[in-house]
Amino acid sequence: KEHDHPIGGFGWGDALVLIATFTQSFLVLVIVFGIFHRSDLSFDAVVKFFAVGFTICVPVGFMLEAIIMNGLFMMYYVTFYVLHWIGSDDFDDWYEDYYAYIHIAGELVNAFFIAALVEELCKYYGFRFLEHPDLIFITGLDRSAAQTRDTGGLDSYKYDSQLVSNFSQDSGGGDCESETDSRGRKRKSKRRRSILREEEDEDEPDLRSLQQQAAAITTGMICVAVGLACAENFLYVFFLGGAGGDEGSVGQEMAVLIFRSIFPVHALSAAMQSINMVRKFIEERHGVEGNIGVGRIIFPAILLHGTFDAILLVVNGYIESAWERYEYENGGVDDDEVEAPYNVLAVNLIAPFGIVGVMAISFGWYTYQNKLQMLRLAKYDILKDRMRSGIDGFNAPNLV
């Protein structure tokens, strides 16, 4: 029985593919959260960050990509017809000679500017969109009473991310007073110690270490990315891949899902974003370079995401342009067994090795940066524990 609408043929095979689509995403969350970071972030936060990526980031991203793409196409056609009107046949000959290069340049713009930039921005702002108690230190709502007074009171809460990241950083200075004893040693004044005790009494300290807080940021950003990837897979598998319900379409759906699941680009790019997120909201409190903006946070992820997409799009663009040139020169293609008008071996080597190489380099960069960052945070944790010990009334004796 034939159906007028492709979804009307949704069968048991399509149902299995649908289950596999969500199972793949949940499996990534089980590995990232359930095995490695279960004590760093709550399950409630994981569900909410996943929902943000699934329900908010994807529709916003698709709308933005459609608007930008249509705007660029409009500029392209206007430029083309203006140059055609000016150059006439000379421009047409030039355009025909360099059509393949123009096509590839368009695919690069699509990969980096449209797909990578828009989707990485959606993931970043989707993560910042949700204010969860587990990540309260990002919002600035964990300020102490002294910090609230210094910034003008409760009515002047700063929403700017740079100011928020400076709240905790500024708490270490300001009212710090010191006394010098008879032997020339500096000691914290009683006023300073009383302020620190007052702040600790008013604000319940986060029991997690700085390393755990950093892991919570990484896990939350990965959850947003997995939610976005899950919704993307659903759209590509069932709407762009076709869900006719027959055996052939089910195999095509499964092939699309497997290919998109083998390379977790969204999850890895979110982890790469988290490196500079941790620098901005945790390491800046301890004197690390400041003024880390959105561009610096998402730039490594754009390089990964854009390069990954560029390899696929450029290869497809090269194949399409080769066939179009062949059809133009030969008046069409009537023989199904005609030899491909491009180097098949080179294409089959460049695409898989390029993709695997980009993923391997990106994963190596993240692993190296994360290791260095955790070592720095471990040192900060040790210093913080020593400061707390001094505040509680225990001072290690100085050796003379």
What pLDDT, in 10s, does the model give residues 114-129? 999 999 999 999 999 9
Beta strands in the chain (DSSP E): 178-180, 186-188
CB atoms within 10 A of CB 108: 16
Cα separation of 243 and 276, whole Å?
A: 41
Average pLDDT over all residues of the chain: 79
Name the packing angle between helices 117-129 and 265-281 (round to 10°): 50
- Reported as type and span, the H/E element at residue 66 is helix 58-97
Range of weakest confidence among 53-62, 71-80, 321-330: 321-330
Tens of pLDDT, residues 6-51? 555 667 777 888 888 899 899 999 999 988 888 899 999 999 999 9
How many whole angstroms from its chain centre is CA 310?
Answer: 17
236, 260 Cβ separation under 8 angstroms: yes
pLDDT of residue 398: 53
pLDDT tens column, 143-199: 555 555 555 554 544 444 444 445 444 544 444 444 454 555 445 455 545 544 544
C-alpha triplet 357, 361, 365: angle, nearest 5°:
170
| CA R_g for the chain | 28
CA distances, 277 to each of 38, 219, 291, 370 (Å): 20, 12, 12, 12
From CA 93, how far away is CA 303, in angstroms rounded?
A: 35
**What pLDDT, on the 0 to 100 scale, is given for residue 176?**
43
pLDDT of residue 339: 75
Binned at pLDDT 50, 70 and 90, residue 229 comes out as very high
> How far is C-alpha 395 from the chain's CA centre?
44
User: Is pLDDT at 316 greater than 60 in this prediction?
Assistant: yes
Rounded distance, CA 33 to CA 43, Å? 8
pLDDT of residue 82: 92
pLDDT(201) > 90: no
Q: What is the pLDDT of residue 262?
A: 84
Question: Coil, strand or helix: which one is 4?
Answer: coil
How is residue 347 written in tokens? 């294409």
Phi/psi at 179 (5° precision): -120, 150
Quote the pTM value: 0.77
Whether the Cβ atoms of residue 216 and residue 37 lie closer than 8 Å to each other? yes
**pLDDT tens digits along 243-261:** 444 444 677 777 777 877 8
Confidence of residue 203 (pLDDT cuts 50, 70, 90): very low
Q: What is the reported pLDDT for 18? A: 84
> What whole-number distance in Å separates Cα of residue 274 and Cα of residue 53?
16
pLDDT number for residue 161:
47
Mean pLDDT in residue range 229-239 = 87
Of the pLDDT bands very low, low, confident and very high (cuts 50, 70, 90), residue 67 is very high
Q: Give me the pLDDT at residue 247, please.
A: 47
> pLDDT tens, 92-114?
888 888 887 888 888 899 999 99
Mean pLDDT across the stretch 319-329?
Answer: 77
Q: What is the pLDDT of residue 198?
A: 47
